[in-house]
Structure 1
Amino acid sequence: MLLRSLWFRSLMAALLLCCVTAPALAQRVSAKDRAAAEERVAQMAAAERRYEEALVLVANGDPKGTTESNAALEDMEDAVDACARQRGCPLSDLLATFKRLLKAGVDARTADLEEEPEEHDDMLDADPALAADVPEALRAARLLGDDRRHAFDRMVSFNPAVQAGIRRWLTDMRPQLMTSYENYQVMRHLMWPEFERRGLPEAMLFGILAKESNGRVHSVSRAGASGPMQFMPATGRRFGLGPDGTGFDTRYDPRSAAEASATYLNERLRELNDDVELSLAGYNGGEGRARRVHRQSGGSGFWEASVYEQFPAETRDYVPMVIAAAWIFLHPRQFGITFPKVDAHPATLKLTRPASIYELTVCLGNTGNRDGYMRSLRNLNPRYDAETPIPAGTVLAATTRIAGLYHRHCESGTRAELARALVTADVNAAIVRDGMAGNVAVGQVTPLPGVATTVATGTAQPARPKAQQVRSYRVAKGDTLGRIAERHGCALKALARANGLRAPAYALRQGQQLRLEGCRK
């Protein structure tokens, strides 16, 4: 279909050339016409750059490549058409560019069809440190092959359980699938290299991420598994995850979690005879159980009844759902899926004034993203609590779009001030307190500056500091620890420590009684 479209466009360009007469080309060219002709040449050059970038996307298997290449071709057609009508425009040059790019597109597609699968031995031979660190990487690379060649498809069973999982992802769980894809694209540059270096396919990474957390790095399960790849504390410690010197739990860090996950999976694959399904079962249901079942069954696969029935229902659901998400990731067109376009080019922004992630979310708006940018900011900056102001001068990880919106709307101006007002709004300030009933006559009282007086006598009394009392507060619906701390003038960490609350979630429940220790208001 793409080649047919290219042929048709090439034919149209040739017809346009035939319509240009020699006298038209020979006419005198004014300065205005020359400027207009130069605009057409610049338009063609921009379309050429866009087309070349699209070819790179196509070569990398990115579905956006086809859309971009078609759009670039349309831009070139517009440039050629305008050039044909513009006096003094070098139409032959533009058509030569058009022809050269069309040939490049055909050659690239032909080369892609004839390309042989890559060998991963060279990668590991060139990186002895990697081979020493993960000796199973070479075996996994041979097993799973090049993800662009869909070798993952051949290593798992596309059976009714997986098909039922695909049905669930495409019906009631479609919003979670799309959210997972958007979140993954923003973190892809952090996570995918860790799987790639260890010879594991990207589809497996996406499938696990989608099922475990929907790509939310601060996800915490009822059992205590945390982070985008949902590591339990003990397992995380085995692979270098947990509280660091600052108190941050690195299970929430996407790069560290991906590295630990890939190493863990390679460990399972090595000891479970390269069985992908059984390795996923171990990831969810416990490596000890997976090893025992594998040994007792004589090496039978996960779908054998003697193996399958020894895993809990959660694991029997988990394995096909991960494979189903991975399958859709590899074959979106097969199921009529168009994944959202995500502007995920990594960038940084430096805060020019203190702001919380909540405040940034408000002032950034949602240009280019229906749901706004809170999740992207939280995923890329997992060390920061969403409500706590981050000091000015802090450099945050972001995308190019987020950085651009920040400079436009959040450094100063009306929207920045509105965002500040919204995130610091105190619900209690909306309550109108009733005045005291009745009148009390107190006589003539002359207050003396700097000292306290009694209303009864008007006599000056020495000022005494008020004894600090530890008050309490009952958590209301919608309250967060950050808002409570701001409302009562408390240090967030001190308030959390006094009530046994742990970062970064500071989870509260409605009706919970908090000690307002060290609070000023």
Structure 2
Amino acid sequence: MPLMPASVPSARRCSLLVAASLLIAIPTAHAQRVSARDKGRIEAIEQRMAAAEKRYTDALLLVAKADPKGTAEGNAALEDMEDVIDACIGQKGCQVGNLLSTYKRLLKKQADDSAGDAADEAGDTLEADPDHVGPLVADVPEAARAAALLNDHRHAFDEMVEYNPAIQAGIRRWLTDMRPALLTSYENYMNLRAVMWPEWEKRGLPEALLFGIMAKESNGRVHASSRAGAAGLMQFMPATGRRFGLGPDGTGFDTRFDARSAAEASASYMNERMGQLNRNIELALAAYNGGEGRAQRVFNQGGGQGFWTDSIYNQFPGETKDYVPMVIAAAWIFLHPQQYGVEFPKVNAQPATIRLARSTTIYELTICLGSAGTRDGYMRVLRNLNPRYEADGWIPAGTTINATTRIAGLYNRHCVNGPRADLARALITADVNAAIKRPQAASYTGNVAVGDVQAMQAAAPAATAPVAPERPARRPAARSYKVAKGDTLGRIAARFQCEVPALARANGLRAPAYAIKPGQTLKLEGCDR
């Protein structure tokens, strides 16, 4: 939330700056001919200025954390400085120039921040995932991005594709029944843009095309998978993924689910296809969806004709005929939203990292973070930025996870401690079985009068088999559990009331993945149930 723009100062600020500037030229010698009382007053004024400057700096930190108090505090600090300069102007011997330089410097910083917060934090990296280590391009502010799209390069993609009725039909679908999917795709993409776009940019490919493919393939859901075996944001099949460096790594994590790796692989794949298909985007997209072998064969037989030529078009399956215009349509809207009355959501996606103060799950974080500043909360963002962790899998304290500056601010306020953090923990650890009431068998404890008590002769006991002496109860063996399909270690720990780290140690499972598989037998050591 930017502070009041310094580029549009109030009337008071204008007059204050003008008046102060006229007083800067007062000779220094005059300042030396002041009484001890005046010197004390000048010192007090300088202390007030230092306090106001600190107040302003603290306000900037609040703004960076999306704290609504930051704006009010920052503007109040500037007003304090104005009052101090007023006092200095009326105080004999006070050097207005010294105070004014501080005031102007902070106003300039405020203007720079309003122009784009992200530029001040361009060195931020997403470090939690090994695949993300390294310099990343910080998210471009909305104003800068809009300016970039308005330059001559904006229409480069337009000139690379054919805008025809098939594309118009695709745009119609994205803007009607598929509009929610389009907006969700955009929001997901913007949260991943700092990771994905640099890989396409350095390979000279249009950002709009990246967005169009991702929107059509997965709607921006990192963990998307198909029955055919395609996986990840860009839906790589296993064999194609391996060709471009994707697949299980040393920990068992499939890097097709990693946003940066998928962006790098998809950019390399598209460049390879376009190099073999005469830089034709439609044919490259047809290869992406319908198989590179088919696309290459059709291209070779067609003598260089384009995708929309009937003899070329009709050799592709119906799915590919739908896929190509839908990708281009999404890309077209991405570049021309105002033309179609589309207002994409504003996303605060400045990259940041969080060092967890205590063990947690993405589900728990989703609850305690709330939904401030977003439509659907932060679960999808956290899952997309941290694909190695299951939503209900426990992440140990001290782990660094990827986030945004807004999420980091909300985490520090609501998830470390306090009522919302406690509520989130209670909801995450709630056990459905604890709600089931199991009444105990009724026992008789009262006395009932049945008349006079009369002595009766005891009957001879009936012959019975000798009773064997009671054996001591056998000590129960250590319990175990057979992993079922869909189980995670966090879910099992919650069911049997175990600590995840202790359960992992007992079974030799390595953090952070805690990989388990159906049919595996786990020792339930340290569990309360």
What TM bracket, shorter-length normalisation?
A: 0.5 to 0.7
Partner of 2:183: 178
Shift of 1:466: 2.6
2:238 is the counterpart of 1:250 = no
Corresponding residue for residue 464 of structure 1: 474
Larger Rg: 2
Following TM superposition, by how much is the alpha carbon of 1:195 offset from its aligned partner in structure 2, in angstroms? 0.4
Q: Paired residue for 2:312, among 307, 320, 323?
A: 307
Indicate conservation of the 8 Å contact 1:213/1:230, yes or no: yes
Q: Secondary structure at the match of 2:252?
A: coil
Shift of 1:305: 1.1
Give me the whole-angstrom Cα distance separating, in 2, the residues matched to 1:61 and 1:404. Answer: 18
Shift in Å, 1:270: 0.7
| Structure 2 counterpart of 1:382, one-letter code | P
Residue number in structure 2 paired with 1:340: 345
The answer to whether the 8 A contact 2:248-2:255 is kept is yes
Question: How do residues 12-411 of structure 1 correspond to structure 2 at under 5 angstroms?
Answer: 35=83, 45=108, 48-50=111-113, 52-53=115-116, 64-65=142-143, 146=153, 149-411=154-416
Q: Which moved more, 1:202-211 or 1:42-51?
A: 42-51
CA contact (8 A) 2:139 2:351 kept: no
Matched AA of 2:183: M
**What is the CA-CA distance between 1:479 and the residue it aligns to?**
9.0
Distance 2:245 2:414 in 1: 39
Cα offset for 1:295? 1.4
Distance 1:514-1:414 versus aligned 2 partners, 3 A rule: farther
1:201–1:507: structure 2 CA closer, same or farther, 3 Å change rule?
A: farther
Q: Could you give the per-residue CA deviations for residues 378-427 of structure 1, whole angstroms, max 9, x where no partner exists? A: 11111111101100000001100101111111111111111011011111
Tell me the SS of whatever aligns to 1:150. helix
- Shift of the 408–469 alpha-carbon distance from structure 1 to 2, 3 Å rule, reads closer
Mapped to 2, the partners of 1:335 and 1:387 lie a distance apart of 40
Q: Distance in 1 between matches of 2:280 and 2:345?
A: 32
Aligned counterpart, 2:496? 488
- Compare relative contact order (CA 8 Å, sep 6+) and give the higher one, 1 or 2: 2
Counterpart-to-counterpart distance in 2, 1:506 and 1:363: 26
How far did 1:151 drift? 0.4
For 2:163 and 2:250, the matched residues in 1 are separated by 45
- Give the drift of 1:17: 8.5
Distance in 1 between residues matched to 2:220 and 2:349, nearest whole Å: 14
Query: What is the alpha-carbon distance in structure 2 between the residues aligned to residue 417 and residue 55 of structure 1?
Result: 33
**What secondary structure sits across from 1:324 in the alignment?**
helix
Query: Which residues of 2 match residues 407-422 of structure 1 at below 5 A?
Result: 407-422=412-427
Distance 1:52 1:473 in 2: 54
Q: Deviations over 1:291-319 (max 9, x none)?
A: 11111222221111111111111111110
Give the unaligned 5+ runs of structure 2.
1-6, 24-41, 46-79, 88-99, 121-137, 446-466
Q: Does 1:426 align with 2:504?
A: no
The one-letter amino acid paired with 1:386 is A
Aligned-residue identity in percent: 58
Deviation (angstroms), 1:461: 4.0
Cα 1:504–1:470 change in 2 (3 A) is closer
Q: Distance in 2 between matches of 1:319 and 1:112?
A: 23
Name the aligned partner's letter for residue 296 of structure 2: R
Alpha-carbon distance between aligned partners in 2 of 1:200 and 1:388, rounded to the nearest angstrom: 37
Output the CA distance in 1 between the equivalents of 2:431 and 2:284. 50
Separation in 1, partners of 2:294, 2:158: 26
Q: Which moved more, 1:391-400 or 1:32-41?
A: 32-41
Find the aligned partners of 1:280 and 1:372 in 2 and give their Cα distance: 33
Deviations 1:102-156 (A, max 9, x none): xxxxxxx8x998x7x6xxxxxxxxxxxxxxxxxxxxxxxxxxxx4xx32010010
Tell me which residue corresponds to 1:72.
none
Superposed CA deviations along residues 363-388 of structure 1, whole A, max 9, x for unmatched, are 11111112111111111111111101
Letter in 2 for 1:210: A
Compute the TM-score of the two structures, normalised by the length of structure 2: 0.66
TM-score scaled by length of structure 1: 0.67
How many residues end up aligned between the 2 structures? Answer: 406
Q: 1:354–1:391: 8 Å Cα contact kept in structure 2? A: yes
Q: Does the 8 Å CA contact 2:200/2:267 hold for their aligned counterparts?
A: yes
**Shift in alpha-carbon separation, 1:112–1:375, aligned structure 2, 3 A:** closer
Contact 1:233–1:242 (Cα < 8 Å) also in 2:
yes
User: How far apart, CA to CA, are the structure 2 residues paired with 1:303 and 1:505?
Assistant: 50
